[in-house]
Amino acid sequence: MSDIALAIIGGTGLYQIAALENVETREGDTVYGKPSAPVRIGYLGGKKIAFMARHGEGHSVAPHKVNYRANMRCLKDLGITKVLAINAVGGITDAFGPRVVSVPDQIIDYTYGRLHSLSEEPGSEVLHVDFTEPYCAKLRANILRAAKKIEMPIVDFGCYGATQGPRLETRAEITRMRRDGCDLVGMTGMPEAAIARELALCFTTVALVTDHDAGVDAGGAVTHEEVLQVFARSLEGLKSLLKSAIGAMPAPEDDESALCSCRRSLDGLRLPFALPR
Ligand code: HPA
């Protein structure tokens, strides 16, 4: 375990945290290969945090090409215990218009062909981790409390539908997702969350809505440029939220004293890998 209070994974539109002080860079290389970007470790508001750009610092890695296993394993190897992912998403239901910020509580996975698990290798032990609640309840509560403290409106629920991309969705796909119960659509929520659970990490997501219905009701598809523009307008609010959340983040607890069930997700299971101590 390290003294890093929180790792942040930046998605589309968030490639660095400029306010990070005394930055140390770890290139990272894992048993699953190289992560999308180096990990920048530094201080924000006196707390030690880590940052990684999910799509690479120059946004060169497409959602379906991200090595989710390497990204998460790299954070685990650094002794990190808590991970907050930032995701630009489309809103599907009424509560999720552009610029709404949400802490989702559920996931439906529509992705395919990605390496979804740490049990992919032939002959490896199979991991059946509990994923009933895909996000860490404690970390979600921390983020919601941090938003309340700065009086930032935030939606405390949301079902994240993870699509394969990189293309946007058809009208019928959005209709189906709405029928399925999704509130949000994005391309990177899975398998990131599931792999975090397989590594017994506390993991949650802050989703920023950049467009509604992938443009299908409005009659025109959203463009990557529009996603970036709306995200940029939400960036100040997001930075305030991160500052508030990091300021209140407790010191990392060791495995024995952590109360959170995420940290117990591998108890009693035979692992296909060795975990760092
Ligand atoms: N669809 C999928 N992914 C997205 C969208 C969308 O509309 N907006 C931002 N990420």
**C-alpha span between 100 and 103 (Å, rounded):** 10
Which amino acid, residue 187? M
Check residue 186 and give its pLDDT: 98
**C-alpha span between 12 and 236 (Å, rounded):** 15
Structure tokens given for 203:
């993991």
Check residue 258 and give its pLDDT: 83
Q: How far is CA 178 from CA 53, 115, 164, 175, in A?
A: 29, 26, 17, 5
Which residue has a Cα nearest atom 9 of ligand 1?
A: 89
Tell me, using a 6 A CB cutoff, whether residue 215 lines ligand 1. no
Tell me, using a 6 A CB cutoff, whether residue 214 lines ligand 1. yes
Tell me, using a 6 A CB cutoff, whether residue 207 lines ligand 1. no
Owner of token pair 């489309």? 90
Which of 9-13, 48-52, 200-204, 214-218 has the least mean pLDDT?
214-218
Which residue has a Cα nearest atom 6 of ligand 1?
A: 90
Tell me, using a 6 A CB cutoff, whether residue 211 lines ligand 1. yes
Exposure string over 172-203, b if 16+ CB within 10 A, otherwise e = ebbeebeeeebbbbbbbbbbbbbbbbbbbbbb
Q: How far is CA 188 from CA 54, 55, 71, 126, 150, in A?
A: 9, 10, 12, 23, 28
Strands 6-10, 82-91: parallel, antiparallel or unpaired by DSSP? parallel
Average pLDDT, the chain: 93
Look up the CATH superfamily of 6-247.
Answer: Nucleoside phosphorylase domain (3.40.50.1580)
Which residue has a Cα nearest atom 2 of ligand 1?
A: 186
Helices 224-247, 137-149: axis angle to 10 degrees equals 90
Whether the predicted pLDDT of 16 surpasses 70? yes
Tell me, using a 6 A CB cutoff, whether residue 265 lines ligand 1. no
Whether the predicted pLDDT of 277 surpasses 70? no
Rounded to the nearest whole angstrom, what is the distance from the C-alpha of residue 79 to the centroid of ligand 1?
32
Whether the predicted pLDDT of 111 surpasses 70? yes
Whether the predicted pLDDT of 86 surpasses 90? yes
Tell me, using a 6 A CB cutoff, whether residue 13 lines ligand 1. no
| CB count in 10 Å sphere of residue 259 | 8
**C-alpha span between 226 and 99 (Å, rounded):** 12
For residues 222 and 214, the answer to whether their CB atoms sit within 8 Å is yes
Which residue has a Cα nearest atom 10 of ligand 1?
A: 89
pTM: 0.96
Which residue has a Cα nearest atom 5 of ligand 1?
A: 90
Tell me, using a 6 A CB cutoff, whether residue 50 lines ligand 1. no
Whether the predicted pLDDT of 5 surpasses 90? yes
**C-alpha span between 52 and 85 (Å, rounded):** 10
